[in-house]
Chains A and B, each alone.
Chain A
Amino acid sequence: MENAFSQPQSVVVFGGSSDIARAIVKKLAAARTRNVVLAGRNQSLLDEAAKEAAEAGVTSISTAIFDANAPLEAGSVVATCFEKAGGIIDLVIIAVGHLGNQLADEKDVAASVNMVNVNFTWPVAALAEIRNRLLEQGSGRILVISSVAAIRVRRNMYLYSGTKAGLDRLCDGLADSLQGTGVSLQILRPGPVRTRMTKGQKDQPFTQSVDQVASDTVKGLSTTKRVITSPPVLEYLFAVLRHLPAPLWRKINEGR
């Protein structure tokens, strides 16, 4: 069970080998997290993440493989992971996401569908099952990793930015639907982060390390805040950016 400081003991992560998820699990393990299930696409990456979690103090770890391009199977993936965790699940992290390659993907039907599946359809499908199970449990927290890019869709990455925007908005409503049920959902919107996913790209302004994102996240998880922004200052910056006149917004997103 989660304690008075909102420190979870049992955590299930979808997208468990993502750099941000790994850093969050490490931070949680420093407090009370001892039981973790990591689900992802690639077994060797999951094994690596599991090893890291064990070193951080997690005593019971299992892994599961799933394909985010197969949303109809999300229900059984969630069921498997919950059973592997056993008992009460305090926190479910959805860290499934794909940055893609805008220039190539925007011309390609299959690649566009893939972007929607991975960033939107699979998480939404999984959330249906997660929501059911946590409602029955009467407790639990869901953390959905969105992005500051979801606040206003950009022309130079509209597939990623747009699919995250869909997920982000949907989760806002989903979180409202959970009021008073003992279950809650929080949205994490990181700014640019140095990860495997962004490797080879030039650092944008406000680029930070996964450790910084993880610190802000763990701090946010101890509150009832709906949206956790990391770094926090971006919350204010994007409050302005989202209201910029369209020509100006297009202008600053010119670079490809």
Chain B
Amino acid sequence: MGRAVHRWRLRVKREQLYGWGHTSPSVADVSEPGSEREVSDALRTNGFVLARGLGRSYGDAAQLAGGHVLVNRLLTKISPLSSEGVITLGAGVSIDELLQLSIPQGWFIPVTPGTRQVTIGGALAADVHGKNHHVDGSIGNHVLGLHLVTPSGAFDVSPNEQADLFWATIGGMGLTGVITSATLQLLPIASDHVVVDTLRFDNLDALMEEMVSHDNDYRYSVAWVDCMTKGASLGRSILTRGDHAPRSETTTLNGPTAPRLKVPFFAPSGLLNQVSIRAFNEAWFRRAPKERSGELQSLSSFFHPLDGVSDWNRLYGKRGFVQYQFVVPDSQSDSVRKAIELLSSSGVPSFLAVLKRFGVANPSPLSFPLPGWTLALDMPVGPGALPSTLDHLDDLVLEAGGRIYLAKDSRLDPSKVRAMYPRLGEFQTIKERVDPSGVLASDLSRRLELLKR
């Protein structure tokens, strides 16, 4: 005491921050720490602090109104890739940057979300999953260890070292501390292509039956479902499954290419509406082959098709959109049908939804996946039935023992969170141990009352 501690060297700018869905922005003091020291200095405050990556969370997970947001893009040190595919990355490295480096050496990220434009720190905080969850689990399952800076000091944590803090940080939405680096086990690949089998289904039941019986034959599997059709064609869908291609004659492996298209400005709100989205879904469905096997697709077009168009979220206009993703346990597969029925009868416009199967959950208390079915949809914010339709869906999901994905949420009723995440209390206890005065928070944690006051 008595000694004035003033090592504030970070340049701080007051800035309005949005999630990827471009709804409910808030203003915070924003800075880019370039060292672990600057991160730990920033955490020594009476105010609130949160780390942010590339802003791909759909809702308010990476915002903190009135607080200090540390944009983690300068911690980008990368260790040499070991011969066993182990690599240590600064948390500000994006998956895109990792793949540029690792694919030519024959290694792929073991789990990737639908975009490469996320940081490693953000990916771990949301415990992202990909098309291979039914086989490989989520990204947390492939982390050998991470470095976490908290208000009560820095820790090296792993599944063996302070395992409870490690798992609370995986999927912990940045509320346990700031991840500064992580060590990942990568996946060996012999090709920069994926061998893809495609099947088209006229209704949901046939699709789900096929997924239950044969998904495990493939490392990657995902179905696109039309949630705007009714009756006999309810849930018509396209199932694509695949695995990394074997070594081919052309032996060079190429990293992802930069986006070719860009949405230069916000489209008028309302451009994407019931009519235009229905037409898109129709075209998408008709374009797909009834059955095709052995098609070679590049890694990018298979895993990250939307990365080909930068700022695609602007197509939804300034009012933005919400993404809704839920999971229900295997025993409640009927809830998937009920959810799609509810959506199609409400007339809420939604692009082809993504349906996939989840495998075993990992030990993280706030991680989203649990064994069963997950459905994700994008819907434009606009006047109409959307808010109440989603509230009904929440009830359906909750009743089935399911939950919704925090990294994508922007509108859940806080009274339903605890039932969806029954281990929230356990998470809070671990968080309080490393952050006793509650410095780490987010607009999401405030809105959903994830932390004790």
Q: Using CB atoms and an 8 Å cutoff, list the residues of chain A in contact with chain B.
A: 1-7, 9, 31-32, 34, 86-88, 136-139, 180-183, 219, 222-224
Q: Which chain B residue has the least Cβ–Cβ distance from A32?
A: B413
CA distance A171 to B296 in the complex (A): 61
Within 8 A of A (CB), among B201-228: none
Q: Chain B: interface secondary structure?
A: loop
Q: Chain A: interface secondary structure?
A: loop
Please give, as numbers and ranges, the residues of chain A lying within 8 Å of B59 by CB-CB distance.
4
Mind listing 7 A-B residue pairs with CB under 8 Å? A1-B26, A3-B447, A4-B23, A7-B411, A87-B446, A139-B27, A223-B319
Q: Is the Cβ of B26 less than 8 Å from the Cβ of A182? A: yes
Q: Is the Cβ of A4 less than 8 Å from the Cβ of B28? A: no
Q: Is the Cβ of B322 less than 8 Å from the Cβ of A139? A: no
Q: Which stretch (B119-127, B301-309, B381-389) binds chain A? A: B381-389
Choose from A1, A31, A180 the contact partner of B60 (Cβ within 8 Å): A1
Q: Which chain A residue has the least Cβ–Cβ distance from B320?
A: A4
Please give, as numbers and ranges, the residues of chain B lying within 8 Å of A9 by CB-CB distance.
414, 447
Q: Is the Cβ of A136 less than 8 Å from the Cβ of B411? A: no
Q: A5-B381, A9-B447, A86-B453 are in contact. List 19 more A-B contacts (CB 8 A).
A: A1-B444, A4-B24, A4-B320, A4-B381, A5-B23, A6-B24, A31-B387, A88-B65, A88-B446, A138-B65, A139-B26, A139-B65, A139-B66, A181-B16, A181-B27, A182-B25, A182-B26, A182-B27, A183-B27
Please give, as numbers and ranges, the residues of chain A lying within 8 Å of B67 by CB-CB distance.
138
Determine whether B329 belongs to the interface, using a CB cutoff of 8 Å to chain A.
Answer: no
Please give, as numbers and ranges, the residues of chain A lying within 8 Å of B27 by CB-CB distance.
138-139, 180-183
Determine whether B443 belongs to the interface, using a CB cutoff of 8 Å to chain A.
Answer: yes
Please give, as numbers and ranges, the residues of chain A lying within 8 Å of B65 by CB-CB distance.
1, 88, 137-139, 182
Q: Is the Cβ of A4 less than 8 Å from the Cβ of B66? A: no
Determine whether B90 belongs to the interface, using a CB cutoff of 8 Å to chain A.
Answer: no
Q: Is the Cβ of B446 less than 8 Å from the Cβ of A4? A: no
Within 8 A of A (CB), among B1-25: 16, 21, 23-25
CA distance A9 to B60 in the complex (A): 15
CA distance A181 to B17 in the complex (A): 10
Residue from A136, A138, A222, A224 whose CB has the most chain B CB atoms within 10 Å = A138
Q: Which chain A residue has the least Cβ–Cβ distance from B22?
A: A4
Please give, as numbers and ranges, the residues of chain A lying within 8 Å of B23 by CB-CB distance.
3-5
Determine whether B410 belongs to the interface, using a CB cutoff of 8 Å to chain A.
Answer: yes
Please give, as numbers and ranges, the residues of chain B lying within 8 Å of A183 by CB-CB distance.
27
Q: Is the Cβ of A2 less than 8 Å from the Cβ of B24? A: yes
CA distance A224 to B413 in the complex (A): 22
Q: Which chain A residue has the least Cβ–Cβ distance from B449?
A: A9
Please give, as numbers and ranges, the residues of chain B lying within 8 Å of A139 by CB-CB distance.
26-27, 65-66, 443
Closest 4 CB pairs of A and B: A182-B27, A4-B23, A4-B410, A1-B447
Given A4-B59, A182-B26, A138 and B66 contact (CB-CB distance below 8 Å): yes
Given A138-B26, A138-B28, A139-B66, A4 and B453 contact (CB-CB distance below 8 Å): no
CA distance A97 to B326 in the complex (A): 46
Choose from B26, B320, B453 the contact partner of A87 (Cβ within 8 Å): B453
CA distance A32 to B413 in the complex (A): 7
